[in-house]
């Protein structure tokens, strides 16, 4: 009798143990499944949050034909082009409309337009740059430009043309150059002709190697100015002015009272997270120049500190 009871007990124990193990295994399996789902969801979120570079398709380059530009009775076109392909720092070369300092490469647009202005004065008219068209072909790295020069319609005699710009530096990089440019013409008055702003598809790296795909652009900004001389016909006749001051004469040699150009001092108040390197990048200058302007011996700065920006 006892033997039968023991056998029944042992059988019941095995059944209960088996059920318990199955339940435990099932719960364990469910927990593992839940963890796998959580991991998959996490991976999906991470994948979506990673930005993918989108290839840019180049639109066909269509050149403006000079014959389509409307001209006044005595207007004339001054046009040319230049190619930055093969030059060092090609996107810096691309916006060298006149001539850059490092190697004098550029389109020499200043002298060509200034010569066109002189031709108008030689015809007996006060001169003006009326329109300027700029086109950039990103694939051939060629800049095409057309200027319309002719008799002035506002009574001023525009005798000089100049510009400053940047590749990738934005407006701050351009504006900090303007006072220096204006100081080259101390007796003249500046008028902005064109503020060129174009994102040029980047088909090459800065060393000139062509890229396999086009996924970014370089912002080319150039501010073009024309300068008039208020003394023409007021102090000196147009004919005499044209004879005495040829188009290639230095701006400082032109007659009249010379203006003094003072570059405004920029200041920056240090915020949390700032560093000298970050501030230098923001204002397109260098850490060394900031340290020199502020008498700093180290790179340490403090929140609330006001720095002079050179």
Q: pLDDT tens digits for 205-245?
A: 999 999 999 999 999 999 999 999 999 999 999 999 999 99
- pLDDT at residue number 205: 94
Reported as a pLDDT band with limits 50, 70 and 90, residue 26 is very low
- pLDDT at residue number 101: 87
Q: pLDDT tens digits for 250-294?
A: 998 898 877 766 666 788 999 999 999 988 877 778 899 999 999
List, in sequence order, every residue forming a beta bridge with 150; answer none if it has no partner.
Answer: 128
- pLDDT at residue number 255: 85
Q: Does domain 266-309 have CATH number 3.10.350.10?
A: yes
- pLDDT at residue number 257: 76
Q: Answer whether 64's CB lies under 8 Å from 146's CB.
A: yes
- pLDDT at residue number 267: 87
Residue pointed to by tokens 């740059």 = 129
Buried b (16+ CB within 10 A) or exposed e, 233-266: eeebebeebbeebebeeebeebeeeeeeeeeeee
- Any idea what the Cα angle at residue 288 is, between residues 287 and 294, rounded to 5°? 90
Q: Give 48 or 229, the one with higher predicted confidence.
A: 229
Q: pLDDT tens digits for 144-173?
A: 999 999 999 999 999 999 999 999 989 988
* Structure tokens belonging to residue 169: 């530096």
* Structure tokens belonging to residue 263: 């570059």
Q: Where are the domains of the chain?
A: 1-50, 66-253, 266-309
Round to whole Å and give the CA distance between 24 and 138. 67
- To the nearest 10°, report the CA torsion of 285, 288, 291, 296: 160
R_g over Cα of the chain:
35
**What's the predicted TM-score (pTM) here?**
0.71
- pLDDT at residue number 197: 97
Listed residue (231, 133, 229) closest to 190, CA to CA: 229
Reported as a pLDDT band with limits 50, 70 and 90, residue 194 is very high
- pLDDT at residue number 245: 96
């Amino acid at each position: 009798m006892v033997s039968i009871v023991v056998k029944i007990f042992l059988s019941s124990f095995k059944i209960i143990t088996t059920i318990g193990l199955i339940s435990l295994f099932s719960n364990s399996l469910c927990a593992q499944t839940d963890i796998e789902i959580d991991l998959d969801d996490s991976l999906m979120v991470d994948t979506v949050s990673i930005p993918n570079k989108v290839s840019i398709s180049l639109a066909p380059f269509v050149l403006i034909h000079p014959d389509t530009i409307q001209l006044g009775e005595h207007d004339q076109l001054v046009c040319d082009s230049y190619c930055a392909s093969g030059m060092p720092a090609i996107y810096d070369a691309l916006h060298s409309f006149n001539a850059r300092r490092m190697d004098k490469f550029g389109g020499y647009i200043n002298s060509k337009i200034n010569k066109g202005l002189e031709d108008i004065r030689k015809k007996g008219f006060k001169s003006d740059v009326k329109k300027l068209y700029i086109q950039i072909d990103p694939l051939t790295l060629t800049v095409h430009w057309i200027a319309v020069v002719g008799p002035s319609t506002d009574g001023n005699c525009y005798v000089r043309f100049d510009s400053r710009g940047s590749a990738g530096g934005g407006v701050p990089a351009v504006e900090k150059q303007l006072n220096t440019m204006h100081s080259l013409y101390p007796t003249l008055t500046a008028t902005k002709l064109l503020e060129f702003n174009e994102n040029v598809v980047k088909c090459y790296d800065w060393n000139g190697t062509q890229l396999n795909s086009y996924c970014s652009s370089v912002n080319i900004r150039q501010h073009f100015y024309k300068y008039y001389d208020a003394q023409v016909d007021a102090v000196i006749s147009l004919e005499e002015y044209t004879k005495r001051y040829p188009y290639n004469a230095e701006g400082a040699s032109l007659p009249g009272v010379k203006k003094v150009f003072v570059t405004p001092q920029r200041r920056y108040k240090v915020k949390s997270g700032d560093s000298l390197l970050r501030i230098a990048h923001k204002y397109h200058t260098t850490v060394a120049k900031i340290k020199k302007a502020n008498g700093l011996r180290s790179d340490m700065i403090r929140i609330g500190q006001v720095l002079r920006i050179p």
